[in-house]
Amino acid sequence: MSEQVAPPSAPQAAQPEQLAQPDPAPQADAAPQADAAAPAAKGSGGRKALAIIGAVVVFLVVAGLKFGLGTAIGSFLNSDETAEAKAGDCIAELPAVTGTEGRSVSSAEVVKCTSTEAVYTVVGRVEDQTEAQAKSGQACEQYIKAGEDGYVFYNIAPGGKGYLLCLTRKA
């Protein structure tokens, strides 16, 4: 097999062949300085980037706590906004139900009781209920006074246990 190679061009100060060849006599003290400087530059750049990222994260956490974004972040991360609801809290509007009718709700929102969105007041919370127990509503009978319209809101996975909230319409 034969190989053809183009003839070298006229000699110039910096030919590619000359740049590709190793320097026959490297200076002993120049190489260690260049090698030592390269890792230091990489390390300090990485540390700088981490310091900046860390400062931004700390700033966001402090700002979030100061301006109440912790609740918004918690709501975003926790898809069940009523998971921490307790007696005395208020719930925004839910689908209308009559008699023993039940309706599935994709979300419910705990709101300030002074808000115009507040429609229901949580009068009781019962833990460790099955879906059948929640549907019966018997656990809420102790919290709802005679003559009041009472509502049961629950979040229970099928076959599991969960909580139920006993609600009355806010006056």
- DSSP secondary structure, 107-134, as one string: ---EE-TTSTTEEEEEEEEEEEE-HHHH
| Confidence category of residue 89, pLDDT binned at 50, 70, 90 | very high
Residues making up the chain, counted from first to last: 171
Six-digit token pair at 123?
A: 């009068």
CA proximity to 162, closest of 80, 65, 105, 91: 80
| Confidence category of residue 74, pLDDT binned at 50, 70, 90 | very low
The domain spans of the chain are: 48-77, 89-97+107-169
Query: What pLDDT, in 10s, does the model give residues 91-132?
Result: 998 877 666 667 777 678 899 999 999 999 999 999 999 999
Global pTM?
A: 0.52
